[in-house]
Structure formats: C-alpha cells, structure tokens
C-alpha cells in the first residue's frame, strides 16, 4: 500500500509519482498525505540509517525493490548524534557532499525522480529557488542524471561568496541564474513558471522544499535521533521555509513514540508570532537579511502545510537575533568546544532559552560552519573552519547568468 496525496487547497487525490513530478498541485496548493502511514512496530530495530530509510520510505511509497538501492546511493554519508558537555545533543546533518541537510532531500528526490522518468522515457527541467543551500544540494544531487536538467535561481548579493561558488561551479545539466532581487522574488518566479499553462510543453517541475520528494526523506533523521534517545526528546529545528519542520511533524504521526518540535527562526519571525497569535495566517512580512541567511524567508511556503486542517503545527517557535546568534557561536565554542554554523547557533540559542523539564534536547545542526566563514570569524576572530569538500571547489570553472526579478523576462528565457 502506498499513501495517496491531495492538495492543501482541495482538488482530487493523486499518487506519489504525479505529486513528485508536478511539485505543486494543479490548484496551486501543496501536496499533503490523505492519511499518514504507520511504520512497522519494529522500525527502530533497523541495523543502520540506510535500512531505517528504506523501512520508512516503503511505508509511504509501497514495496519497491529499487528503494533499498536508491537509499543506499542517496544516504552514503554519516548522521552523527553528538552530545555536548552542556548536555544538549546536536544531530549533525551536514556530512553530505554540499555540507547542509538539504543533501538528504535533494539526493533522494533526484534519484527517485530519475527512476520514475526512466520508466516512461520522459525528461524534466527542475526549477529551484534557493537562499543558499538548496541550490547547491539540488545542483549536486541532480547533476548528470540522464532524465533531468536543473535551472537554479538565487538572489544576487544575498548568499556568501562560498555559497555562490557552490551554486555556480559548472555541473552537467545545470544552469545557474543570479536574480536581481530577494529569495522571495526567486520563489515567486519559480511558482509563476510552474503554474503558467503556456509553459506546459517545457516539462517543468520544482525541487524546492514544497516537493514531497524532498520532504519525505527529511523525516528520516528525526526518527534516527528518536530511536537512539527513546521517548519524548525535544527537537529544535532551525527554520526558514519550514520544510524541515513540516517533515518532523509528519514523522511524528507515523510512530507511537513521541517527540517535541520547536521551530527556531532568526529575525524573520512570522511563525513564532503566528503561534503566539500576534500575526494573522498568510499575513507575511517582507524578508529581512540576517547572519543565518539560509533562513531568511519572510513568507515560509510550507506554512500552508502546517496550517492545514488535521495537521499538527510546531509545539513552540522562537526568534533569535543576530547578536544572540554571534554570542551563541562564542559560548558554544568556549564552553562546549563546539563550532556551530550560524543556523545551528540559532537552534542552540533557542535551546538555551527553553525549559526542557528533563527531556533530552536535540538541536538539528543544519550546515557545516565552514560554509559561513564570514559570520563565524565575526563571532570568533581568527577562527577559520575548513572542509575538504569546499577546498576542492576552488579549482573548478564557474558559470552564471544575470536576470531581473520580473516574470516576463524569466518566461522568455525558459522559452528560448
């Protein structure tokens, strides 16, 4: 049995493959499971992460002999759970090739999509708007796959130089566009193209965190932490578009064991204010630039999923300032000997302000600190975090094209 899907705005039910290939539902809504699957009672006994992944994804997608192999290929890196001297645990999600948790979603989605397309001889062009880490994960995860091309859009001047290098190194089948605008502009362009009937012949699809192909594998590490920690840990999720948090709420519905979920935001604090009844649903403020730029999202697209009838929101949400983020990088380094990226630091700061009442607190470490040398060295002068995967990029050729933020120009480019 596999899960059927429906739009957050109504619409008819559909299967996984159609939802995966479409990205957005035809009515502009986001796909939601009609019913949550239950994991088999012995799910926590899986011998390793790859087996856990196959067990979980089979509960959603049905029995498929390829799934085991796709999981082995996609999740070929470790997922360490590190407990710091202060007692907080850090779930390190940054050991994939582009050093951020986005590798889980992108690598799985790329393979399952390529597999689906290969069965019917189809092709797709994947559109992806990125505030930094998504684009490189998607570009890396999808590059060179036979049935897929990628067009990625990122906001000019709003990603770090290193992130930009990751986004623009030449990769087979990948085109990088630098947009004169914000992340929300990039996302608006992608949404407009995907719902533009006159582009139907271009076989476009999305790979943003709205796509269920990315959300489904993001459940896996919550369950990995849960099976190591036992019942009722409190998981803190550094959040922007709320895709990661949504995946956590879904994972929670599939097992008997429970865990808490806290969304940790930077100054883009719509969701914390919404949960405190200080903001109306969908009354999104403009995006604010912060030190944790992969979380600079004024209008989180997955909010529509968390807000849907019958789906659970986070238990709590907090907002952390840039000053607090820098201070938390410093104290975590001096007190725990641990160097955190600015996004992870937002989570650690949220953790420090919570009363966990004896529950084990787990902060999702969403990126490697070496991706953000400017912010890390601002907090800790002289600190130079390094990662081999980044050093290796320095010799590779780059390629990028500049575009404006108006839809007409983007549409023309897609038609050419």
Ligand X SMILES: *Cc1c(COP(=O)(O)O)cnc(C)c1O
Query: Which residues of the shown chain bind ligand X in the complex (CB under 6 A)?
Result: 100, 102, 133, 209, 238-245, 294-295, 343, 366-367
Q: Which is nearer to ligand X, 168 or 292 (CB)?
A: 292
Give, as one character, the DSSP assignment of residue 172: T
CA 359, 360, 366, 371 torsion-angle sign: positive
Contacts of 88 (CB under 8 A, 6+ apart): 336, 348, 351, 361, 362, 363
Tokens representing 171 are: 């990769």
Q: Which is nearer to ligand X, 133 or 185 (CB)?
A: 133
Q: Minimum Å distance from CB 201 to ligand X? A: 31
Tokens representing 50 are: 């790859």
Q: Minimum Å distance from CB 101 to ligand X? A: 6
Q: Which is nearer to ligand X, 205 or 209 (CB)?
A: 209
CA 272, 277, 283, 286 torsion-angle sign: negative
Q: Minimum Å distance from CB 221 to ligand X? A: 13
Q: Minimum Å distance from CB 100 to ligand X? A: 4
- Contact (Cβ atoms closer than 8 angstroms) between residue 384 and residue 368: no
Q: Minimum Å distance from CB 335 to ligand X? A: 22
- Contact (Cβ atoms closer than 8 angstroms) between residue 364 and residue 347: yes
- Contact (Cβ atoms closer than 8 angstroms) between residue 311 and residue 251: no
Q: Minimum Å distance from CB 279 to ligand X? A: 17
Tokens representing 162 are: 């290193």
Q: Minimum Å distance from CB 45 to ligand X? A: 29
Q: Which is nearer to ligand X, 224 or 296 (CB)?
A: 296
Alpha-carbon distance 38 to 296, whole Å?
A: 34
Query: Dihedral through CA 73, CA 74, CA 77, CA 78, nearest 10?
Result: -120
Q: Which is nearer to ligand X, 46 or 379 (CB)?
A: 379
* Number of neighbouring beta carbons within 10 Å of residue 121: 7
Pick from 265, 177, 247: nearest CA to 30: 247
Pick from 130, 211, 203: nearest CA to 168: 130
Q: Which is nearer to ligand X, 33 or 240 (CB)?
A: 240
Q: Which is nearer to ligand X, 67 or 267 (CB)?
A: 267
Q: Minimum Å distance from CB 416 to ligand X? A: 30
Main-chain phi, psi angles of 318, to 5 degrees:
-130, 160
- Contact (Cβ atoms closer than 8 angstroms) between residue 343 and residue 244: no
Q: Which is nearer to ligand X, 168 or 244 (CB)?
A: 244
Tokens representing 268 are: 């883009």
Q: Minimum Å distance from CB 185 to ligand X? A: 17
Across 217-315, the runs of DSSP E, i.e. the strands, are 234-238, 260-265
Q: Which is nearer to ligand X, 116 or 293 (CB)?
A: 293
């Amino acid at each position: 049995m596999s899960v059927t899907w429906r739009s957050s705005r109504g619409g008819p039910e559909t299967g996984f493959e159609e939802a995966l290939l479409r990205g957005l539902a035809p009515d502009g809504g986001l796909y939601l499971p009609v019913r949550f699957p239950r994991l088999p009672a012995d799910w926590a006994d899986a011998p390793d992460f790859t087996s856990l992944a196959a067990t979980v994804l089979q509960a959603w997608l049905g029995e498929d002999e390829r799934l085991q192999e796709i999981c082995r290929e996609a999740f070929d890196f470790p997922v360490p759970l590190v407990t710091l001297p202060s007692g907080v645990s850090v779930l390190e999600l940054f050991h994939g090739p582009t050093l951020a948790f986005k590798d889980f979603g992108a690598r799985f989605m790329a393979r399952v999509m390529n597999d689906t397309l290969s069965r019917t001889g189809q092709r797709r062009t994947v559109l992806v708007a990125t505030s930094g880490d998504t684009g490189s994960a998607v570009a890396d995860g999808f590059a060179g796959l036979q049935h897929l091309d990628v067009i990625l859009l990122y906001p000019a001047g709003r990603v770090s130089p290193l992130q930009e290098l990751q986004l623009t190194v030449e990769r087979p089948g990948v085109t990088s566009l630098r947009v004169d605008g914000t992340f929300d502009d990039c996302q608006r362009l992608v949404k407009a193209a995907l719902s533009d009937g006159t582009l139907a012949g271009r076989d476009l699809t999305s790979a943003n965190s709205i796509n269920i192909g990315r959300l489904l594998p993001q459940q896996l590490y919550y369950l990995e932490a849960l099976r190591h920690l036992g019942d009722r840990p409190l998981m803190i999720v550094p959040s922007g578009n709320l895709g990661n948090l949504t995946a956590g709420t879904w994972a929670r519905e599939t097992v008997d064991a429970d865990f808490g979920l806290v969304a940790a935001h930077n100054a883009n604090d719509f969701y914390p204010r919404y949960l405190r009844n200080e903001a109306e649903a969908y009354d999104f403020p403009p995006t604010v630039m912060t030190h944790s730029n992969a979380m600079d999202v004024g209008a989180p697209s997955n909010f529509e999923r968390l807000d849907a009838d019958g789906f659970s929101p986070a238990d709590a949400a907090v907002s952390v300032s840039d000053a607090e983020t820098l201070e938390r990088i410093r104290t975590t380094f001096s007190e725990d000997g641990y160097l955190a990226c600015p996004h992870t630091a937002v989570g650690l700061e949220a953790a420090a302000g919570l009363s966990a009442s004896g529950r084990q607190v787990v902060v999702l470490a969403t990126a490697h600190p070496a991706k953000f040398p400017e912010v890390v060295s601002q907090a800790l002068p002289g600190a130079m975090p390094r990662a081999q995967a980044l050093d290796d990029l320095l010799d590779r050729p780059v390629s990028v094209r500049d575009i404006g933020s108006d839809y007409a120009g983007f549409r023309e480019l897609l038609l050419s």
